[in-house]
């Protein structure tokens, strides 16, 4: 084929330019370490790279959230631990106060310490977190969860909200618990009151109802007892539901036509009461089962302290107070333990999720590296080859440009 | 002797001319547009003397141009293809860089937008985290704005370039027409004006670099030049100009047109292809408009989804959230979406207002609405040309009485005309997503006004004895009377009380000591989720478990709820929700798909460039192999003709010698 001189030089020149461009491109790849710089470099790998980068970023974000969640939960856990310790001390004091040999002064000392413990518990439930937000107020983290009520007791000022953090797609974990779920609405043991029938003629008064055996009383209720004075000096106690006489007293005997002693103890089915005054035949007194009540933790301890302080209480009433308090404290501890268990399992699942996230991230990073990163061995050997080709093009250009017939026509 | 002398002279002449032609070839060796010439030698007419024909020597018949019209045409069309591919590829590289670069692209902004949102959601009471998110949101909006501006800037630059290239085309057509005239005159004198032909070929080649042309030879060595669909640029010695005019459907767009010397203008339409113009127009119409639409759709997705969640939320100051970004159906945006044709019937009070009712169904195409009669229309999606029922079964093409509504692809078109009905010939161009990337802005600047919480909360009654529990509450419509009657309050706060374990009543708890019944004797559905409250309330709760008689639950306004991130969680969930493309793409993947398309087109453009370059090199080399000068060949010719010249000179010498011999013989 005939080749024009101009074309010959052009071809040689093009070879030089192409060689240079190849070498430059390889140089750039080696310098950045990346095989794919923009989607135009490899449109098939590009969407893979984008997707992998996005997944890795998302996992990093979820792990950050998980760390935050762990911090919050651990703070809550340790605060609850302090509260449990204080409650243990309260329990010891309560048991101590149940010792019948204590005198008024000793009981007052216990009551004083119990009041201090109430203040301590108030401080603990109003604990603040990292951003000075109240831990146990639910959504209303700027408001202290518990505050003293002017007319006695405590008000819960927060709500039942919980904060959830996303630790994986479609997986949110709660990082706090409201004070309402933990410390408010603690069931306290059931009690009863006494009622005189409206048509009573005498001056008898029924008073001082105390539950002496919670299990027996809980078994007896919802039934109620009717104390009927068969004469001015005898009374019978029957079940309101069917009129069957109830056994009571010590030693236990059917309470039918028992001799009446004004101010004497009448005991049956775990219940204890006294009648004083002068009833007449036909007077009726009934027990009334109180509506099941709930109190918050602080009120329970405070009422215990105030009850111990009351010098007018009988020893039976004190015993009732102590046994009620112990049962209530058990309920408080149960509520706290339940939440602590929840926290434990949440921490567990966060740890599991974090671990699996890390594994996914590692796999993604490996894949990303395979797709995007340069294989240095391959690239450097290509660079060597391209440099060689460029060199050859340069040398051949010089050699060919010297060939001309004009050199020989002199 | 005279014959010998003349024969020798003729040889001398011819050799001299041949040497000149060779010299011409040698000096033009590097002239790309030059076709080599060769002196054609023929024997002169013989003389009839004394019964036989005696030769009279040699003469140069003509200087021939050695080339191939076929190869020239081939090289010319390959030049057009290559120039077009080069222009297209360079601009595509620019776009590829713009969209995918880690620093200048949008993907980084989207990613940091969502990650700063997660940080704020982790700690909703923290002012700093909220501020960081708001800055990130503003950065995202600004990135949309700046990408839009850059694309528009690129479009403007391309328009300027098109104007400039059109001017160059006109200059070349003038030159070619002039050369046509000159060549015609020269050809009439009997011979080919080789250098003028070379010049014209060069001009044609330069013109082909700018736009694909068809060249048809006419008599007298003339050519007719036309572009793709037959519209002429040069006819004989008459040239036409290439100019830009405003597009009647969209005055912001400039189209190419051809203006004759008499002044009549005819639009070029789709006849332009190849060459720089083809590449520029391909980018302008095919790529940049598509990019603007795609960008706008992602912006609409961000704004639409975020606003929906933010509107249902409550901020740190207890106020309802409102819009986080520009509302997608604000008045300015809506009016920018429709462009009425300048030739529509008067009075031009037609209203075609385009609202976006479902971002998820949006396409990235523009639409055309043409009225063929007062109440008959044709709605066409420009990307694939589907119209009316082929586009969507609900598009019957017939309108009822005005005002009327047409819905398609997530758009709701409200049509009206105060002065009566539409007229046949009314045309509208609809660009639903084109402008929003420029219009998007953040609407919240104070950290306290970021709505991460929910405006309702629930409380379980303290004395409940059953095992029922209530969900934390979910807002469905902050435009309902519950929220709008008195800001910062639930109107009314609600109490749900169970009259038995299977039925409940809903009470107005404005006065907690005496709640009034709103809904009595509602059956309690045993399976959750259950719709406890009517939809008109604007919020909903779930109750599960077994309630006891007398159990109650309160629903209040969430005043003071600063550690609440329920609405924030909904916004975070948007990142992994398929909010675009008919429920197939998340926001980030929609942008990713778009950049990948750009990448694929860039890679294809690069491949086309390589291929067309190789083809051009090949056709050029084939042309050069016929028409190019080979120095070695010319050197050999020089030697050949120099020898011939010397030989002819020697013939004259001999003629002189015989003349001298004759003279000396006669003189004696």
Nearest residue of A to residue B105 by CA position?
A: A38
Q: Pairing mode, if any, of strands A154-156 and A264-268? A: unpaired
Residue B543 with chain A: CB contacts under 8 Å = none
Which of A40, A159, A185 shows the shortest C-beta gap to B603? A40
Strands (E), B84-239: 213-218, 222-227, 232-235, 238-239
Helices B631-667, B2-27: axis angle to 10 degrees equals 160
**More confident site: B1 or B349:** B349
**Closest Cα in chain A to B90:** A40
- A50 has a chain B CB within 8 A of its CB: yes
In this predicted model, what pLDDT tens digit does every residue of B441-454 receive, in sequence order? Answer: 999 989 999 999 99
Chain B residues with beta carbon closer than 8 angstroms to that of A36? none
pLDDT tens, position by position, B611-643 = 999 999 999 999 999 999 999 999 999 999 999
pLDDT at A78 over 90: yes
**In this predicted model, which residue has the larger pLDDT, B450 or B544?**
B450
Number of helices (H), then strands (E), belonging to chain A: the values are 8, 16
pLDDT higher than 80, residue B645: yes
Per-residue model confidence (pLDDT) at position B104: 65
Contact A43 B599 (CB under 8 A): yes
Residue for token pair 């809506």: B334
Residue A47 has pLDDT above 90, yes or no: no
The kind and range of the H/E element at A207 are strand A205-211
* Average pLDDT value over all residues in chain B: 91
Reply yes or no on whether the pLDDT at B530 is more than 80: no
pLDDT greater than 70 at residue B278: yes
Any residues with CB less than 8 A from the CB of B178 and at least 6 apart, and which? B237
Q: Which pLDDT value is given to residue B103?
A: 64
In DSSP notation, B197-257 reads HHHHHHHHHHHHHHS-EEEEEETTTEEEEEETTS-EEEETTEE-EEEEEE-SS-TTSEEEE
CA-closest candidate to residue B87, choices B162, B141, B28, B176: B162
CB B213 within 8 Å of CB B200: no
Mean pLDDT of chain A: 89
In terms of average pLDDT, the best of A201-215, A238-252, B362-376 is B362-376
Set of chain B residues whose Cβ sits within 8 Å of the Cβ of A406: 631, 635
Average pLDDT estimate for A21-30: 91
CA nearest to B637 within chain A? A405
- With H, G, I as helix, E, B as strand and everything else as coil, classify residue B411: strand
**B668: confidence class by pLDDT, cuts 50, 70, 90:** low
Give the separation between CA B114 and CA B305, rounded to whole angstroms: 13
The mean pLDDT of B546-571, rounded to a whole number, is 92
- Between chains, do A7 and B92 touch, taking CB under 8 Å as contact? no
Confidence tier at A44 by pLDDT (50, 70, 90): confident
What number of CA atoms fall less than 13 Å from residue A43's CA on the CB side?
Answer: 18
8 A C-beta contact, residue A225 and residue A275: no
CA distance B323 to chain A (A): 23
Q: Spell out which residues of chain B touch residue A3, defining contact as CB-CB under 8 Å.
A: 621, 624-625, 628, 630
Count other Cβ atoms within 10 Å, centred on residue A394.
Answer: 15
- Answer whether B635 sits within 8 Å of A159, measured CB to CB: no
Element (H, E) at B10: helix B2-27
Interface of A with B in 210-239 (CB under 8 A): none
Asked if residues B568 and B117 have their Cβ atoms less than 8 Å apart, the reply is: yes
Average pLDDT over residues B507-525: 88
Helix boundaries (H) for A164-230: 179-183, 214-220
- Percent pLDDT > 90 in chain B is 61
Strand order, beta sheet including B265-267: B241-246, B254-259, B265-267
For residue B600, the chain A residues in CB contact (below 8 A) are 39, 43
Test B96 with A38 for CB contact under 8 angstroms.
Answer: yes
The residue that leads in pLDDT, A310 or A27, is A27
Alpha-carbon gap: A86 to the closest alpha carbon of chain B (Å): 25
* pLDDT over threshold 70, residue B528: no
State the Cα–Cα distance between residues B409 and B363, nearest whole angstrom: 7
Give the least confident one: A218-232, B71-85, B201-215, B231-245. Answer: A218-232
Confidence of residue B608 (pLDDT cuts 50, 70, 90): very high
pLDDT at residue B390 is higher than 80: yes
CB-CB contact of A236 with A228 (8 Å) = yes
Binning pLDDT at 50, 70 and 90, where does residue A259 land?
confident
Residue A116 CA to residue A302 CA, distance in Å, equals 10
What is the percentage of chain A residues whose pLDDT exceeds 90?
44
Question: What does residue A384 show for φ and ψ, rounded to 5 degrees?
Answer: -60, -45
Judge if pTM exceeds 0.90.
no
CA distances from A174 to B451, B543, B556, B568 (A): 20, 19, 22, 14
H or E segment and range at residue B75: helix B69-100
With 90 as the cut, is the pLDDT of residue A247 above it? no
Mode of pairing for the β-strands spanning A192-196 and A284-289: antiparallel
pLDDT band, very low/low/confident/very high, at B102 (cuts 50, 70, 90): low
Query: What is the average per-residue pLDDT within B209-215?
Result: 94
pLDDT over 70 at B307, yes or no: yes
Count CB pairs under 8 A between chains A and B.
184
Q: Identify whether the C-beta of residue A200 lies closer than 8 Å to the C-beta of residue A214.
A: no
Q: Does pLDDT of B475 surpass 90?
A: yes
Disruptive mutation site among B599, B601, B605, B630 for chain A (greatest number of A CBs within 10 Å): B599
| Per-residue pLDDT at A354 | 94
Nearest CA distance, A278 vs chain B (angstrom)? 39
pLDDT tens by residue, A274-301: 888 888 888 888 889 888 888 899 999 9
List the single residue in A159, A185, A409 with the smallest CB-CB distance to B635. A409
**Buried b / exposed e across A137-149, counting CB within 10 Å, b at 16+?**
bbbbbebbbbeee
Q: Which of residues 142-201 of A touch B (CB under 8 A)?
A: 142-143, 159-166, 169-170, 172, 176, 180, 184-185
For residue B465, which residues of chain A lie inside 8 Å, CB to CB?
292
* Strand partners for A254: A247
- Chain B partners within 8 Å of A61 (Cβ): 114-115, 118
CA distance A33 to chain B (A): 16
ipTM for the assembly:
0.82
Scanning B510-630, the segments in alpha helix (DSSP H) are 566-573, 587-627
| Cα angle for residues B242, B243, B246 (degrees, 5° grid) | 145
- Could you give the CA distance from residue A8 to residue A3 in angstroms, rounded to a whole number? 7
Contact A140 B560 (CB under 8 A): yes
B-chain residues near A42 (CB < 8 A): 603
DSSP B248-280: SS-TTSEEEEEE-TT--EEE-TT---SHHHHHH
CB contact under 8 A, B589 and A7: no
Average pLDDT, integer, range B289-299 = 94
Residue B268 φ/ψ region, left for φ over 0, alpha for ψ in the -120 to 50 degree band, beta for the rest? alpha
What tokens appear for A244 in the block?
């069957």
d(CA B476, CA B540): 7
Cis ω before B61 (30° cut-off from 0) = no
What is the Cα–Cα distance from B60 to B528, expressed in whole angstroms?
108
Structure tokens, A21: 């461009």
Question: Hey, is the C-beta of A400 within 8 angstroms of any chain B C-beta?
Answer: no
- Report d(CA B114, CA B137) in Å as an integer: 9
Mutation to test the B interface, candidates A1, A5, A53, most B Cβ within 10 Å = A5
Flag whether pLDDT at B271 surpasses 80: no
At residue A262, the pLDDT reads: 86
């Amino acid at each position: 084929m005939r080749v024009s001189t101009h074309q010959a030089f052009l071809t040689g020149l093009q070879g030089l330019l192409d060689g240079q461009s190849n070498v430059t491109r390889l140089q750039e790849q080696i310098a950045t370490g990346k095989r794919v710089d923009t989607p135009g470099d490899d449109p098939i790998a590009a969407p893979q790279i984008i997707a992998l980068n996005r997944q890795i970023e998302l996992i990093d974000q979820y792990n950050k959230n998980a760390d935050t969640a762990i911090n919050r939960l651990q703070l809550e856990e340790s605060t609850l631990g302090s509260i449990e310790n204080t409650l243990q001390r309260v329990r010891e004091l309560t048991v101590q106060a149940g010792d019948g040999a204590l005198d008024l002064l000793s009981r007052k000392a216990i009551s004083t310490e119990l009041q201090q413990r109430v203040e301590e518990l108030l401080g603990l439930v109003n604990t603040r977190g990292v951003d000075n937000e109240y831990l146990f107020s639910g959504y209303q983290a700027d408001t202290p969860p518990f505050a003293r009520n002017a007319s006695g007791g405590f008000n819960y000022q927060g709500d039942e909200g919980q904060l959830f953090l996303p630790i994986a797609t479609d997986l949110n974990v709660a990082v706090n618990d409201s004070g309402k779920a933990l410390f408010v609405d603690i069931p306290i043991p059931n009690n009863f009151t006494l009622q005189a029938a409206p048509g009573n003629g005498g001056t008898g008064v029924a008073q001082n109802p105390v539950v002496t055996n919670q299990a027996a009383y809980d078994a007896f209720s919802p039934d109620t007892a009717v104390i009927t004075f068969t004469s001015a000096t005898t009374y019978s106690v029957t079940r309101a539901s069917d009129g069957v006489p109830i056994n009571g007293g010590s030693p236990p005997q059917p309470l039918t036509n028992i001799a009446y002693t004004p101010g004497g103890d009448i005991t049956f089915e775990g219940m204890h009461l006294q009648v004083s005054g002068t009833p007449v035949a036909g007077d009726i007194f009934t027990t009334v089962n109180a509506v099941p009540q709930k109190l918050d933790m602080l009120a329970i301890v405070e009422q215990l302290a105030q009850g111990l302080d009351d010098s007018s209480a009988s020893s039976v009433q004190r015993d009732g107070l102590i046994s009620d308090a112990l049962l209530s404290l058990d309920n408080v501890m149960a509520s706290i333990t339940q939440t602590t268990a929840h926290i434990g399992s949440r921490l567990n699942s966060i740890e599991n999720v974090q671990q699996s996230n890390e594994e996914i991230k590692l796999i993604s990073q490996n894949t990303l590296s395979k797709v995007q990163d340069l294989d240095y061995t391959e690239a450097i050997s290509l660079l060597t080859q391209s440099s060689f080709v460029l060199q050859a093009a340069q040398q051949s250009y010089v050699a060919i440009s010297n060939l001309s017939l004009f050199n020989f026509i002199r | 002797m005279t014959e010998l002398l003349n024969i020798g002279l003729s040889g001398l002449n011819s050799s001299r001319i041949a040497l000149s032609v060779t010299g011409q070839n040698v000096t033009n060796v590097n002239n790309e547009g030059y076709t080599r010439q060769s002196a054609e030698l023929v024997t002169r007419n013989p003389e009839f003397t004394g019964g036989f024909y005696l030769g009279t020597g040699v003469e140069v018949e003509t200087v021939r141009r050695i080339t191939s019209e076929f190869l020239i045409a081939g090289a010319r069309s390959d030049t057009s293809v290559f120039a077009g591919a080069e222009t297209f590829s360079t601009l595509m590289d620019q776009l590829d860089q713009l969209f995918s670069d880690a620093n200048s692209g949008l993907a980084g902004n989207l990613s940091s937008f969502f990650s700063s949102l997660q940080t704020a959601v982790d700690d909703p009471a923290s002012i700093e985290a909220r501020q960081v998110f708001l800055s990130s949101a503003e950065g995202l909006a600004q990135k949309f704005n700046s990408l839009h501006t850059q694309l528009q800037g690129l479009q403007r630059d391309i328009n300027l370039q098109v104007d400039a290239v059109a001017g160059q085309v006109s200059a070349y057509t003038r030159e070619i027409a002039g050369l046509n005239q000159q060549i015609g005159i020269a050809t009439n004198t009997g011979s080919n004006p080789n250098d003028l032909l070379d010049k014209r070929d060069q001009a044609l080649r330069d013109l082909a670099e700018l736009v694909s042309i068809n060249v048809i030879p006419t008599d007298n060595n003339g050519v007719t030049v036309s572009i793709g669909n037959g519209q002429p640029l040069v006819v004989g010695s008459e040239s036409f100009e290439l100019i830009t005019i405003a597009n009647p459907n969209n005055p912001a767009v400039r189209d190419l047109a051809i203006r004759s010397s008499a002044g009549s203008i005819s639009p070029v339409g789709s006849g332009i292809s190849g060459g720089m113009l083809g590449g520029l127009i391909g980018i302008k119409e095919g790529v940049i408009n598509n990019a603007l639409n795609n960008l706008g759709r992602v912006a609409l997705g961000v704004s639409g989804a975020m606003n929906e969640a933010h509107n249902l939320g409550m901020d740190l100051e207890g106020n309802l959230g409102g819009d986080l970004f520009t509302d997608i159906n604000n008045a300015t945006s809506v009016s920018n979406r429709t462009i009425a044709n300048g030739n529509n019937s008067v009075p031009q009070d037609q209203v075609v207002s385009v609202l976006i009712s479902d971002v998820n169904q949006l396409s990235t195409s523009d639409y055309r609405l043409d009225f063929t009669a007062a109440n008959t229309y044709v709605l066409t999606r420009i990307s694939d040309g589907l119209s009316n029922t082929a586009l969507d079964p609900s598009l019957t093409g017939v309108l009822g009485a005005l005002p009327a509504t047409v819905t398609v692809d997530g758009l709701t078109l409200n049509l009206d005309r105060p002065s009566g009905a539409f007229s046949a010939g009314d045309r509208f161009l609809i660009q639903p997503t084109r402008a929003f990337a420029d219009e998007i802005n953040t609407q919240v600047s104070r950290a306290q006004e970021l709505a991460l919480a929910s405006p309702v909360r629930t409380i379980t009654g303290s004395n409940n004895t059953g095992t029922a529990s209530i969900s934390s509450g979910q807002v469905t419509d902050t435009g309902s009377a519950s929220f709008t009657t008195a800001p910062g309050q639930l109107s009314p706060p609600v109490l749900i009380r169970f009259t038995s374990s299977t039925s409940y009543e809903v009470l107005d708890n404005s006065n907690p000591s005496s709640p009034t019944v709103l809904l009595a004797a509602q059956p309690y559905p045993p399976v959750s989720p259950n719709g406890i409250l009517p939809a008109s309330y604007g919020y909903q709760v779930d109750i599960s478990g077994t309630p006891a008689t007398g159990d109650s639950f309160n629903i209040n306004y969430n005043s003071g709820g600063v550690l609440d991130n329920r609405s924030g969680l909904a916004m975070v969930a948007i990142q992994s929700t398929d909010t675009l493309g008919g429920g197939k793409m998340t926001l980030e993947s929609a942008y990713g798909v778009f950049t990948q398309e750009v990448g694929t087109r860039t890679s294809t453009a690069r491949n086309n460039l390589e291929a067309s370059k190789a083809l051009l090199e090949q056709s050029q080399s084939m042309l050069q192999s016929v028409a190019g000068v080979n120095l070695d060949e010319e050197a050999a010719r020089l030697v050949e003709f120099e020898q011939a010249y010397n030989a002819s000179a020697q013939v004259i010498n001999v003629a002189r010698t015989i003349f001298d011999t004759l003279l000396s013989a006669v003189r004696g």
